[in-house]
Amino acid sequence: MTKLRIYVDLAASGDAMELLRAGTAGHQLLFAHAPGGSVLAQAEKDPQLAAADIAFGQPNPEAVSEAGALQWLHVSTSSITRYDTPVFRACAAQRRLLVTNSAHVYNDACAVHLLSFMLAQARKLPLSLRTRPPLGGPVWNGIRSASGLLRGETLLILGYGAIARRLTELLRPFDLKVTAFRRTKVSWWLLPRN
């Protein structure tokens, strides 16, 4: 078995890190000096990435582009926004760098979360909780009459990926009209591998 060098740019619990260590036994883990804490935080360039065969987490896109030995980048979130630039795409395609994400890990949880927000908005729950109107009063009656059902509504989804696909499955019983948009052309490295 070839011993792989796996760069880990991930802030995770001790239990998650133990699972990672157990699952990669026999390979060398290179831990980021300052692991990325969020998809929104820009990771620092880490010289260890240059020696890695695989990167896992949210490493700095410029450092990924410069890491000549890197064969596979697995982004630890559903979003790949920081890597979804023309420059990074061109570099990944030219180097045949495999880029994957964790969308399928999050699709159920995120879709249920989105559905709960949609239902809460339709039923005016945020307003009800904020105002706590007395039962039968004018404010209560106004909230009640403004509350709706999702049935027959139209939903527009921009970015029809794994989470949106799961959301549309959950919404089937509500009989919504769903219009979804995604790229007309998706590069090979963004598609899930089955």
Average pLDDT over every residue of 102-112: 89
The C-alpha atoms of residue 21 and residue 14 are separated, in whole angstroms, by 10
Task: Please state, in angstroms and rounded to a whole number, the distance separating the CA atoms of residues 24 and 122.
Answer: 46
* Alpha carbon distance, N-terminus to C-terminus of the chain: 24
Dist CA 90 CA 194 (whole Å): 24
Nearest of 168, 163, 127 to residue 145 by alpha carbon? 127
Higher pLDDT: 11 or 125? It is 125
Q: Which of 22, 18, 43 is nearest to 33 (CA)?
A: 43
Across 36-51, average pLDDT: 79
pLDDT at 74 over 90: yes
> What are the E-state strand segments in 67-172?
72-75, 98-100, 154-158
Query: What is the C-alpha separation between 2 and 136, in angstroms, rounded?
Result: 71
Task: Enumerate residues 6+ apart whose C-beta is below 8 A from 145.
Answer: none
Tokens of residue 137, six digits: 């009063």
Quick one: pLDDT band at residue 114, thresholds 50, 70, 90? very high
pTM over 0.85: no
Q: How confident is the model at residue 116 (pLDDT cuts 50, 70, 90)?
A: very high
Please write the tens of the pLDDT for every residue from 17-42.
899 999 999 999 999 887 766 666 77
E strand or H helix at 40: none
Q: What percent of the chain has pLDDT over 70?
A: 91
Q: What's residue 2's pLDDT?
A: 86
**Domains and their CATH numbers in the chain:** 5-101 (3.40.50), 104-184 (3.40.50.720)
